[in-house]
Each structure stands twice: as structure tokens, then as C-alpha cells.
């Protein structure tokens, strides 16, 4: 009789990934979970710092009032000082350039740095009756301003004696009023000032009396 040889049934197929790490296996997933924690995404950059508080300068009354042969410009310099600052740390300096001339060609006189001189200044210089360049200074103190709510003020009313103009007289004066740190302004000047203003504004006093009629006009300089 023929004997049939019994064949052994094949075992389960061996995984082709045997011996290889797999990230999708339970062990592989655990290994990934135990790895380094990713760094968090950076937050938004901080915004720019607020600008430091600073005082401001403005003008009012920058207009002429004429009556007959008289011309006034009562201008006011207004300084606003933030509450976090000290008003005494700031001051005004006025500068001028130009002349006040009579019809005969001579100049009116003006007191400048303690001396009386012809009102005829070809170059811009500090406008001060005494040697201290600070506007409205006197022998008793440097600052003599009018205290205002939130700051201080000063005024000017330039012009010839009595602010009156004979026929043919003229005033042609350009000004710059500047706001400065008091500590930056020296106690004496001969006309120049090296300190830089925090802010500066132009204004002018321009009056022409017609040589025939005496009528007043205000040409822009």
C-alpha cells in the first residue's frame, strides 16, 4: 500500500517589518510621545514705546490792529507743559532780523543786551533787552512768565515809539520764538545761541506807511 507523507502546514507569514521600528505601532507611538516637546510659537512683538512727554508752543493774536497812523500786533506765545514735567525747566527765546526805519533813512533806536543801538539787524540774532537771552528775563530772575492752566505764556508788542508811523516810515522785522530747556540757555549772550530749541515758530512785524497818504499796509516778508 502506498504510504502518503504528511506535509506540515505552513506557519504564519513573518512580517516584513520584523526588527524595524514603526512609529505607528503602540511602542512607536509611545516613543514619539516621550520625545522633546516642540517650542511654542513666538508671541507678537511688543509695540513701540510711547514717545516721551514734551511741552508744546503755539501763537495767538498774530494779527495787526491799526488806528490812524498807529499799528499794533499784540502777539501771545503759549506754552503747554504736560503734568509729568516741570514748567520751570522750560523757557522762551525770541530772535529777530530786520529794521525799523524812518522816512529820512535813519533808524529807530532799540535797547539790545543792555545797550541802545540802531534797530537795523542784517542777520538773525537773539532779541533781548539785557544780556540774558531768555525772553522776559530781568535782574531779579530769568523767568517772568504768566502762569497758565497747564503751562505759561508771554506776549510781545513790537513797534516804534507809540507804535506810530509817519508818512514813509517802515518796519520790516522777522521773528522766531523758540521753546528751550532752561538749563540749555546760557546766562549771557552777545547775539548768538548754540542751544537747539524744542520747537520754534516764525512771526513778523511788517508795517509800511505810504509816503503820500500815510495809509498803513502790511507786506508779507
Domain count, the chain: 1
In a domain, 126, yes or no: yes
Global pTM?
0.78
Do the beta carbons of residue 79 and residue 153 sit within 8 Å?
A: yes
Distances (CA, A) of 207 to 58, 121, 163: 23, 17, 10
- 105-142 pLDDT, tens digit each: 999 999 999 999 999 999 999 999 999 999 999 999 99
Distances (CA, A) of 166 to 158, 187, 201, 207, 211: 16, 38, 30, 11, 8
CA–CA separation, 143 and 91 (whole Å) = 7
- 139-197 pLDDT, tens digit each: 999 999 999 999 999 999 999 999 999 999 999 999 999 999 999 999 999 999 999 99
Beta bridge mates, 154: 77
In a domain, 21, yes or no: no
In a domain, 97, yes or no: yes
In a domain, 63, yes or no: yes
Residue-level pLDDT at 209: 99
Domain carrying residue 64: 56-217
In a domain, 148, yes or no: yes
In a domain, 124, yes or no: yes
In a domain, 17, yes or no: no
In a domain, 10, yes or no: no
Amino acid at each position: 500500500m502506498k504510504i502518503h507523507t504528511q506535509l506540515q502546514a505552513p506557519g504564519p507569514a513573518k512580517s516584513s517589518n520584523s526588527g524595524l521600528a514603526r512609529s505607528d505601532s503602540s511602542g512607536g507611538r509611545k516613543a514619539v510621545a516621550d520625545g522633546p516637546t516642540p517650542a511654542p510659537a513666538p508671541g507678537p512683538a511688543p509695540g513701540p514705546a510711547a514717545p516721551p512727554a514734551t511741552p508744546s508752543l503755539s501763537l495767538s493774536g498774530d494779527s495787526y490792529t491799526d488806528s490812524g497812523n498807529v499799528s499794533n500786533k499784540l502777539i501771545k506765545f503759549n506754552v503747554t507743559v504736560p503734568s509729568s514735567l516741570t514748567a520751570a525747566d522750560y523757557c522762551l527765546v525770541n530772535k529777530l532780523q530786520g529794521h525799523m526805519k524812518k522816512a529820512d533813512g535813519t533808524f529807530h533806536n532799540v535797547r539790545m543786551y543792555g545797550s541802545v543801538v540802531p534797530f537795523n539787524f542784517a542777520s538773525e540774532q537773539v532779541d533781548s533787552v539785557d544780556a540774558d537771552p531768555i525772553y522776559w528775563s530781568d535782574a531779579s530772575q530769568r523767568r517772568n512768565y504768566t502762569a497758565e492752566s497747564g503751562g505759561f505764556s508771554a506776549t510781545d508788542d513790537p513797534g516804534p515809539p507809540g507804535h506810530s508811523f509817519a508818512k514813509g516810515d517802515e518796519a520790516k522785522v522777522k521773528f522766531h520764538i523758540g521753546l528751550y530747556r532752561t538749563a540749555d540757555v546760557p546766562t549771557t549772550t552777545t547775539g548768538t545761541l548754540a542751544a537747539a530749541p524744542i520747537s520754534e515758530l516764525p512771526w513778523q512785524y511788517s508795517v509800511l506807511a505810504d509816503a503820500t497818504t500815510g495809509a498803513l499796509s502790511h507786506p508779507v516778508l
